[in-house]
């Protein structure tokens, strides 16, 4: 009788699991850019805070740009030196990142932040006195300057005379603002309304009767409730701060709502459809020029 023996390869297992594996099939861990993830990524947004609070505290706003600019520099240098987790210096990759940071982290957030301020300022036209925030702020600044300069809070000055004098001066202020704004061209007016918070046109674009009534009301409240020039400054500064805080809220809202859209637009449109094609054309021309020189040298 012929006996045929079949030897099988031993199979080892641990708790029912096959311990045999192919090292070539082991997946490589995906590289995670530390600068693109929190908390490091948060440094890239500090300038957005600076943009939003610039109306409230300009000096503090400038300080918020310091960590953001340091982050942008570190990110650009990292992209120049490394391709993912591999050391591979490349100037074009660094240039792409520089363009991305300039557009997505500086230019567009600044634009939309100012648009948000202007938008929130205009929202005020649909409530209360139906005047823009900027028009109110400029009016309060005028009252502050007028009240401080003429010492209207001092005793011994007739109240009706103070009010009449203020109305006359504010009429001149309103007329001067209106004439100045009318001389501006359409491009300056659009820029003023969208990006400059209507600093030139806030008064001129306001309803004349409403803005003058608001100015008179605020002036009367000021002289009735303040005993000296210092009290006038304190009261009006608080009112101005509240108006600025409202505009800063508009900047925060605009930046938060547009942040992701900006990143995608810059990456997919500006970088991939504008910057990279230009770089490719430059590379092709450079290679063609080098090939031409090499061929010419071989012929000689």
Q: How many distinct helices (H) and strands (E) make up the chain?
A: 11, 4
CA distance 151 to 146: 8
pLDDT of residue 155: 52
pLDDT of residue 300: 53
**What is the band of 235 on the pLDDT scale with cuts at 50, 70, 90?**
very high
The answer to whether the beta carbons of residues 64 and 50 sit under 8 Å apart is yes
Average of per-residue pLDDT values in the chain:
82
Q: Give Rg (Cα) of the chain.
A: 33
Residues paired with 86 in a beta bridge: 83
Residue 245, pLDDT above cutoff 60? yes
CB atoms within 10 A of CB 283: 11
Identify the top-confidence range among 87-91, 130-134, 190-194.
130-134
Residue 250, pLDDT above cutoff 50? yes
pTM of the model: 0.78
Residue 245, both tokens: 């805080």
Top pLDDT among 189 and 149 is at 189
Query: What is the mean predicted confidence (pLDDT) over 282-295?
Result: 62
Identify the top-confidence range among 30-44, 71-85, 142-156, 209-223.
209-223
Identify the top-confidence range among 10-14, 25-29, 266-270.
266-270
**What is the band of 293 on the pLDDT scale with cuts at 50, 70, 90?**
low
Q: What percent of the chain has pLDDT over 90?
A: 48
CB neighbour class for 281 (10 Å; exposed up to 12, middle 13-18, buried from 19): exposed
pLDDT of residue 208: 93
CB neighbour class for 20 (10 Å; exposed up to 12, middle 13-18, buried from 19): exposed
**What is the band of 12 on the pLDDT scale with cuts at 50, 70, 90?**
very low
159's CB contacts (< 8 A; 6+ apart) are 223
């Amino acid at each position: 009788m012929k006996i045929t023996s079949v030897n099988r390869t031993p199979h080892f297992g641990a708790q029912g699991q096959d311990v045999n594996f192919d090292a070539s099939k082991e997946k490589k861990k995906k590289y995670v850019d530390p600068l693109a993830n929190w908390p490091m990524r948060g440094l890239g947004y500090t300038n957005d805070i600076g943009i939003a609070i610039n109306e409230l505290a300009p000096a503090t706003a400038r300080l918020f740009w310091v960590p953001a600019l340091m982050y942008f520099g570190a990110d650009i240098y990292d992209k120049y030196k490394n391709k993912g987790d591999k050391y591979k210096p490349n100037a074009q990759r660094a240039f792409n990142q520089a363009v991305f940071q300039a557009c997505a982290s500086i230019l567009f957030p600044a634009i939309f932040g100012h648009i948000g301020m202007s938008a929130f300022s205009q929202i005020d036209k649909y409530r209360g006195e139906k005047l823009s925030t900027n028009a109110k702020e400029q009016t309060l600044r005028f009252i502050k300057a007028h009240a401080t300069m003429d010492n209207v809070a001092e005793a011994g000055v007739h109240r009706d005379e103070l009010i009449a004098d203020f109305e006359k001066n504010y009429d001149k202020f309103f007329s001067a603002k209106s004439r100045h704004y009318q001389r501006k061209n359409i491009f300056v007016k659009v820029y003023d309304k969208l990006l400059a918070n209507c600093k030139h046109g806030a008064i001129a674009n306001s309803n004349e009767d409403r803005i003058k009534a608001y100015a008179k009301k605020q002036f009367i409240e000021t002289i009735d409730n303040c005993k000296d020039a210092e009290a006038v400054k304190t009261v009006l500064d608080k009112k101005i701060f509240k108006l600025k805080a409202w505009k800063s809220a508009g900047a925060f809202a605009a930046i938060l709502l547009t942040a992701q859209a900006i990143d995608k637009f810059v990456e997919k449109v500006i970088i991939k459809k504008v910057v990279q094609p230009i770089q490719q054309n430059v590379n092709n021309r450079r290679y063609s020029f080098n090939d031409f020189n090499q061929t010419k040298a071989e012929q000689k």
